[in-house]
Amino acid sequence: MPSYTAPTRDARFIINEMLDLAGYADLPGFEAASVDVTDAVINEGGKFCAEVLAPLNQSGDQEGCTRHEDGSVTTPKGFKEAFDQFREAGWGTLSQPEEFGGQGMPHVLGFAFEEFVSSANQAFGMYPGLTNGAVSALLAKGSQEQKEKYLPKMISNEWTGTMNLTEPHCGTDLGMIRTKAEPQADGSYSITGTKIFISAGEHDMAENIIHLVLAKTPGAPDSSKGISLFVVPKFLVGDDGSIGERNGVVCGSIEHKMGIHGNATCVLNYDGAKGWLVGEENKGLAAMFIMMNAARLGVGVQGLSQAEVAYQNAVAYALDRRQGRALTGPAEPEAQADPIFVHPDVRRMLMDAKAFTEGMRALCLWGALQVDLTHKAKTEEEREQADMLIGLLTPVIKGYGTDKGYEVATNMQQVFGGHGYIEEWGMSQFVRDARIAQIYEGTNGVQAMDLCGRKLAQKGGAAIQAFFKVVGDDIADAKGDNTLAPMAEALEKALGQQQAATMWFMQNAMQNPNHLGAGAHHYMHIMGIVTLGWMWLRMAKVAQAALAAGGEDKAFYEGKVATARYYMDRYLPDAGALRRKLEAGSESLMALDEDAFATAA
């Protein structure tokens, strides 16, 4: 069975040393997040995930969820009890507002914990994960009454939440949804329609499920400007918070999927279910994007999480499995063969994984800090800067993070050779679970268009200019240090590739928007490469300073500097190739009509 240890040392390095979370103690919510508290939360959270959730991961995959004739769903053995422990320990309350029973801690801590949960058991993590998405929409758009009615029990995880967007004929293009919401005399709406791919849509782990549902009111515009958001509880909730009668929403079936078997992916049939409008009519898309943006960051973390757990197991296997000899001569002559860890091609895969996971962890936690600063930074300018940066980088974290996460998980499976293909070893599950993250909450193609079609152009390019400035400043700063200078120069070149690609879009996409669409994927990957390079430069700087100061943990900091160097050697070169592909434009890409794609016999 695969194993998992939460990478708490690395999380603490990023939070305490790179982000210096304690340095924000004068902001609301941050005052409680002292280094001691942070360390305790990270360490205890990591322990909980490794000890309670990870042991259920493989059995959950093998058993899956079962739907019964009455529409009820049983989750895999142990999930309910683990969720009880999760709830009792209050893990779901970490970064939620104190007003509704949360602990009000920075999102940075919530994100760090989310990674551990998802590495330990991604399918399990989606039950509280989706709840968080629903909570964020209600917090932003719900009425005070709705907040008071639903949020405390959702935040405490007595109840869970879902997001109901997709229908059989539409996912990305939500303007096409057909689910109807008919206004009733009592101010509620009668919701009727079919939603598919509803993660955590039905289960036996909580006493109620609060569905947030996109639907159309009568006469609403036939586009994304005509969709509204509704809260539809599985069981109606009395004014005193008591559980009332069963609402008209039933799980019609659950999907048989490639992975995340432990999560119930439901077809939900709404048949005159009672729902209440959240926010304004026809403004559902904006509310949906609040859930979606939170969810997208969470999905980016999933890309990291599967790469991380796969990496840990690949390292263990590479040190244990013996085949062949080191190219430079036997490393352990007394043994019949050397561990495969000595082979450069195995090391290449492990180093690729290490460079990705640690860089991606830094990016996710940096991103979580921006989420906090968007609301809590002292000045309007700081809040706006944080908002721009996280808006710009959300599709990169989701899109690049999950593309690479899947690639790394696949390579870690490769380290196992034939054993990687056998389900018993667990590596296949990491790959199969990682695969979904490239697809849901907006496919990575949608992320690329969000980045290039919306975010780049917003406010006259203010966000991308702000990004170029913060990265450029850190590069300029690092050039003064002998160790960091070569890395900074390499990163500067990659940043130059991104700037050139940005310029190419500006000069060409107006005249032909297909040029933008044809290069969006490449641009997202260039930006992912540059952004992780930036994180590595920041980590190397902190590590370099720690080494200069002497003190403990020398090997840890040396590892950071060496891995930063590896990242610059082996990741940055792709930026130039991607730019060349992007600059090829859409001509040869769109040249053929559909007949040319038919298989001719």
Closest separation between CB of residue 563 and a copy of itself, Å? 7
Closest separation between CB of residue 25 and a copy of itself, Å? 26
Site for a copy of itself in 176-195 (CB under 8 A): 176
At residue 196, φ and ψ (nearest 5 deg) are -120, 170
Rule CB under 8 A: is residue 197 a binding residue for a copy of itself? yes
Task: Specify the residue, 172 or 184, whose C-beta has the smaller distance to a copy of itself.
Answer: 172
- Whether the CB-CB separation of 561 and 355 falls below 8 Å is answered with no
Rule CB under 8 A: is residue 283 a binding residue for a copy of itself? no
Residues 305, 589: Cα–Cα separation, whole Å: 34
Binding part of the chain for a copy of itself, among 108-116, 138-146, 500-508, 571-579 by CB under 8 A, reads: 571-579
Q: Please pick, among 441, 492, 558, 594, the residue that the annotation labels catalytic.
A: 441
What single DSSP character describes residue 247? Answer: P
Task: Specify the residue, 27 or 176, whose C-beta has the smaller distance to a copy of itself.
Answer: 176
At residue 552, φ and ψ (nearest 5 deg) are -75, 170
Neighbours of 555 (CB within 10 A): 8
Binding part of the chain for a copy of itself, among 72-80, 205-213, 233-241, 408-416 by CB under 8 A, reads: 408-416
Largest CA distance in the chain: 84
- Whether the CB-CB separation of 124 and 58 falls below 8 Å is answered with no
Binding part of the chain for a copy of itself, among 95-103, 233-241, 282-290, 589-597 by CB under 8 A, reads: 589-597
Task: Specify the residue, 47 or 383, whose C-beta has the smaller distance to a copy of itself.
Answer: 47
Binding part of the chain for a copy of itself, among 15-23, 225-233, 454-462, 515-523 by CB under 8 A, reads: 515-523
Residues 55, 130: Cα–Cα separation, whole Å: 22
Closest separation between CB of residue 249 and a copy of itself, Å? 20
277: part of which helix (H) or strand (E)? Answer: strand 265-278
- Whether the CB-CB separation of 554 and 501 falls below 8 Å is answered with no
Task: Specify the residue, 142 or 399, whose C-beta has the smaller distance to a copy of itself.
Answer: 399
Residues 352, 311: Cα–Cα separation, whole Å: 10
> Closest by alpha carbon to 105, among 86, 116, 91?
91
Residues 225, 48: Cα–Cα separation, whole Å: 44
Rule CB under 8 A: is residue 295 a binding residue for a copy of itself? no
Rule CB under 8 A: is residue 417 a binding residue for a copy of itself? yes
Binding part of the chain for a copy of itself, among 125-133, 134-142, 172-180, 459-467 by CB under 8 A, reads: 172-180
Return left, alpha or beta for 189; rule: phi > 0 is left, psi -120 to 50 is alpha, else beta.
Answer: beta
> Closest by alpha carbon to 483, among 409, 524, 536, 439?
536
Name residue, tokens 């009820």. Answer: 72
> Amino acid letter at 33?
A
Site string for a copy of itself, 55-94 (x = CB under 8 A): ----------------------------------------
For strand 208-215 and strand 228-233, is the pairing parallel, antiparallel, or unpaired?
Answer: antiparallel
Task: Specify the residue, 160 or 563, whose C-beta has the smaller distance to a copy of itself.
Answer: 563
Site for a copy of itself in 341-360 (CB under 8 A): 341, 343-351, 354
In DSSP notation, 65-110 reads: -EE-TTS-EEPPTTHHHHHHHHHHTTGGGTTS-GGGT-----HHHH
Task: Specify the residue, 255 or 382, whose C-beta has the smaller distance to a copy of itself.
Answer: 255
Task: Specify the residue, 143 or 414, whose C-beta has the smaller distance to a copy of itself.
Answer: 414
Three-state SS string over 538-550 comes to HHHHHHHHHHHCC
Q: Could you confirm whether 441 is annotated as catalytic? A: yes
Rule CB under 8 A: is residue 513 a binding residue for a copy of itself? yes
One residue of 144, 336, 379, 482 binding a copy of itself per CB under 8 A? 336
Site for a copy of itself in 235-274 (CB under 8 A): 255-259
Angle between helices 380-415 and 427-436 (to 10 degrees): 140
Residues 162, 126: Cα–Cα separation, whole Å: 10
Rule CB under 8 A: is residue 533 a binding residue for a copy of itself? no
Size of the site for a copy of itself (CB under 8 A): 108
Closest separation between CB of residue 595 and a copy of itself, Å? 6
One residue of 337, 462, 466, 500 binding a copy of itself per CB under 8 A? 337
- Strand, helix or coil for residue 246: strand
Site string for a copy of itself, 537-566 (x = CB under 8 A): ------------------xx-xx--xx-xx
Closest separation between CB of residue 492 and a copy of itself, Å? 15
Task: Specify the residue, 69 or 594, whose C-beta has the smaller distance to a copy of itself.
Answer: 594
Task: Specify the residue, 242 or 482, whose C-beta has the smaller distance to a copy of itself.
Answer: 482
Binding part of the chain for a copy of itself, among 103-111, 123-131, 368-376, 443-451 by CB under 8 A, reads: 443-451
Site for a copy of itself in 469-498 (CB under 8 A): none
Task: Specify the residue, 45 or 142, whose C-beta has the smaller distance to a copy of itself.
Answer: 45
One residue of 81, 145, 423, 473 binding a copy of itself per CB under 8 A? 423
Burial of 356 (0-12, 13-18, 19+ CB in 10 A): buried
Rule CB under 8 A: is residue 171 a binding residue for a copy of itself? yes
Residues 551, 17: Cα–Cα separation, whole Å: 14
User: Catalytic amino acids?
Assistant: 441
